[in-house]
Amino acid sequence: MASSKADKRGKPSSGPKQEFPAKIFHAINIVSLILMIGSGLQIYNANPVFGGRGAWTFPRTFLLGGWLGGGRNWHFAAMWLFALNLLAYGVYIFVTRRWVRRFVSQSDLQVLQKGQNPKRKNYAWHRLIYTGIVPVLILAIASGLAMYKPAQLHWLAGLFGHWQTLRVIHFVSVPIIVLFTIAHFLLSQRVGGYRLIKSMFT
C-alpha cells in the first residue's frame, strides 16, 4: 500500500491542459493577425498614413498581396476571419463562464496596488491587459470597417470625424495589438512557464 502511494506521488505531472476550442481560437487569431499585418502594410505602402506618398515605406519582405488591390483582398478576408473568430470566442467564454477568470476584478486592482505575492500579481496584470485589449480590438475592427465601406457605413466613419484621423487610429491599433500579444505570451510564461505555452498548441 505504501509503495503504491509512493508511486502515485512519484508520477510526473501531466502539466496544464487547454480545452480544444481555446486552442482553435488562439490558432486562428495568430494566423489571421499575421495575414492582416502583412496585407495592411501592403495597403500602407500605397498611401502612407504619415508623411504622404514620399514617406518611408515598409520593405517588401513584410508585405502580403503584391499590390494595393491584392493587399486589400487579403486584408479584408483575414479581417472577417479575425472578427468572426473573436465573436465566436466571446460567445464561448460567456457560455462557459471563462470570463470570470479572464477579466480584471476589483480584487485584482487591489493586488496590483498592495499585493506582495509575485505570482498573484502576474495573474492580476494578465487579467488587466486581457480586459484592456477588448476596446482596442473593437476600435480596430470598427475603424477598419469604416474605411472598407465609407459610403455604406458613413455613420460609422463619421464617428471618427476626419478621414486621416480614422486612418491614424486604425494604424495605431495594430502595434497595440502586437504588444498585447507579446505581453500575453510573456505573462503566460511567467505564470505557467513553457509548459503552459506548449499546452495551447499541442
pLDDT digits (tens, 9 = 90+) for 151-165: 999 999 999 999 999
For the chain, state the CA radius of gyration. Answer: 21
Residue 136 lies in a domain: yes
How far is the C-alpha of 77 from the C-alpha of 36, rounded, in Å? 9
Q: Supply the range of the domain harboring residue 40.
A: 18-81
Report the pLDDT value the prediction gives residue 192, as an integer from 0 to 100. Answer: 67
Of 51, 81, 111, the domain-final residue = 81
Predicted TM-score (pTM) of the model is: 0.78
**Residue 111 shares a structural domain with residue 27:** no
Are residue 199 and residue 159 in the same domain, yes or no?
Answer: yes
Q: Are residues 120 and 202 in the same domain?
A: yes
Distances 119 to 17, 125, 189 between C-alpha atoms, Å: 19, 10, 11
At residue 5, the pLDDT reads 47
Same domain, 159 and 70: no
How many angstroms separate the CA atoms of 193 and 179, rounded? Answer: 19
Residue-wise pLDDT tens digits, 50-68: 877 778 889 999 999 998 9
| pLDDT at residue 21 in the model | 79
Helices (H), the chain: 2-10, 20-46, 68-95, 99-102, 106-114, 118-148, 154-158, 163-199
Residues 73, 39 share a domain: yes
Residue 87 lies in a domain: no
Residue 121 is predicted with a pLDDT of: 83
Whether residues 44 and 132 fall in one domain: no
Is the residue at 9 inside a domain?
no
Residues 45 and 113 in one domain: no
Residues of the chain with pLDDT under 50: 1-8, 10-13
Q: Are residues 125 and 192 in the same domain?
A: yes
Q: Number of structural domains, the chain?
A: 2
Residue 11 lies in a domain: no
CA terminus-to-terminus distance, the chain? 35
Per-residue model confidence (pLDDT) at position 10: 47
C-alpha–C-alpha distance, residues 49 and 142, integer Å: 18
Number of residues that this document lists for the chain:
202
